[in-house]
A and B are shown apart, each in its own frame.
Chain A
């Protein structure tokens, strides 16, 4: 508290946002839907609104959400994204947009891996080990019969 006709005002920076937690990669099949969790901190000296945007490999915003984050606080955003229809590896970006200052305060990138669903492989037929003794038995019988015939000579 104070009293005077004038006062020295501290310079305020306003809200200032940084992305503190995000996935390094997201993988799935073409057109599948995934949930991405992103945490943003407000390092400024006043509360402020932050819009988190996810942009695909073409720079198109594919998901966004806006929350008010108190000075010194943080918020977690859960955004749904649909993976590309074509298989491949893509680089997408996350932006923390400062609504108050009209600035992008932080940007991060993550990898999107899209692949076809794996084809079920045929079960490998086990070698019929049981046939070996059978064959050996049959062979013995045949061989024995031949000898007997030989001795009969």
Chain B
């Protein structure tokens, strides 16, 4: 029976009044997190959390202290013949970029970073790796209008693309498919003037090739306009996520924040509710948390039908989700509890890769022992890491399959030479 298991709990080193963003689960015993404060008041912090899974203790190492802003877009580059990199980005003020906003950093070597010194247009929200071009493409967070293209080897920004209708603070965010195209979700951040929220589709290579010239993404040759509405604006972050089958967006109708479900097949946008905190859990399923009722909720593909609820008395005032992982924060006691969803109440699935022998398996995060489990296999050109800003590729070309994993399993052959990022998603329910 699906349940939630505790991995470790600790009292965080900084006393702040907001939650603990899950920047990146880099290894089963290493987390990168934010200790954040509400609003633009000093100070926000980023920490590396090394977990002793046997003794259930952590060691905290502070990476940054900033006047405002924390990293959110964590990315782990992982693959055969690739140097594994743990990266992240978001808007910051003061350290390390002075008054400039927007930074992208190597978490394992913080002397390597890029400052996007173009004020409110440099925030980094969502970070994806393209192994075909060896480039990272990012989306913008609270108040930006650029998709940055970054060379992870030289740690330089090679260019960016804009959107013709997002000239002020807004959002332009990529969301991958199971082919060589990427959705672009765009919108305006301001409640004043015309509200705007839209979706288009473009070739990844078109972005990569044209980024040095800073064009509007919606004026590239491969751009396909899909949906646009003036009923919503994006307020701070549009937070697009896919569960492989639908795309979850977040907008504000002028009164309150709304969870919106975009169906690419029928090109329709459905307003769900004001509970905006859903994350993709597995193919066609969503995970959310109901803080007031102290429970996790698994929604079906429609984002409305409740499949099951999981009560958890540890839920206090803040919960941050990333796939099947959760960081529960009590801002009164500063206690943080790291938990993971379990399909059977005994193990928390974790994916392990052996590129030398071209194999992968699923182990129990808690013990490291191999487990038997059904998984979804999805393909894409773009790679997410495990962070709360991550999701699955939208499956447009049926590049998805299921299999039962018992121990080491051969990594399957990619569908094409350019679509060769494999996602392994445990089936929880």
Contacts and interface: CB of A to CB of B under 8 A. Distances in A.
Interface of A: 1-12, 14
A3 B352 CA distance: 5
Give the contact-size bracket for chain B.
35 or more
B310 to A, nearest CB: 21
Nearest to B28: A3
27 contacts: A2-B84, A2-B352, A2-B353, A3-B26, A3-B27, A3-B350, A4-B351, A4-B353, A5-B323, A5-B385, A5-B390, A6-B385, A6-B423, A6-B424, A7-B78, A7-B79, A7-B411, A8-B77, A8-B80, A8-B82, A8-B131, A8-B421, A9-B411, A9-B412, A9-B422, A11-B417, A12-B413
B386 interface: yes
Contacts of A3: 26-28, 78, 350-353
B414 to A, nearest CB: 5
Contacts of B26: 3
Interface in B123-153: 129, 131
B81 A6 contact: no
Contacts of A5: 323, 351, 384-386, 390, 423-425
B325 to A, nearest CB: 10
Interface of B: 26-28, 76-82, 84, 129, 131, 323, 350-356, 358, 360, 380, 383-386, 390, 411-414, 417, 420-425
Contacts of B424: 5-6
A7 B358 CA distance: 11
A12 B84 CA distance: 20
A5 B81 CA distance: 18
A95 to B, nearest CB: 25
Given A8-B420, A9-B421, A2 B384 contact: no
Nearest to B410: A46
A6, A9, A10 — most chain B CB neighbours (10 Å): A6
A11 B131 CA distance: 12
Given A3-B350, A6-B424, 18 more contacts: A1-B354, A1-B355, A2-B78, A2-B84, A3-B28, A4-B385, A4-B386, A5-B385, A5-B423, A7-B79, A8-B78, A8-B129, A9-B79, A9-B414, A9-B422, A10-B355, A11-B420, A12-B413
A7 B422 contact: yes
A6 B352 contact: no
B313 to A, nearest CB: 28
B343 to A, nearest CB: 16
A10 B410 CA distance: 13
Nearest to B130: A8
Contact of B420 (A2, A4, A9, A14): A9
Contacts of A4: 76, 78, 351, 353, 385-386
Contacts of B413: 11-12, 14
A55 to B, nearest CB: 31
A136 to B, nearest CB: 96
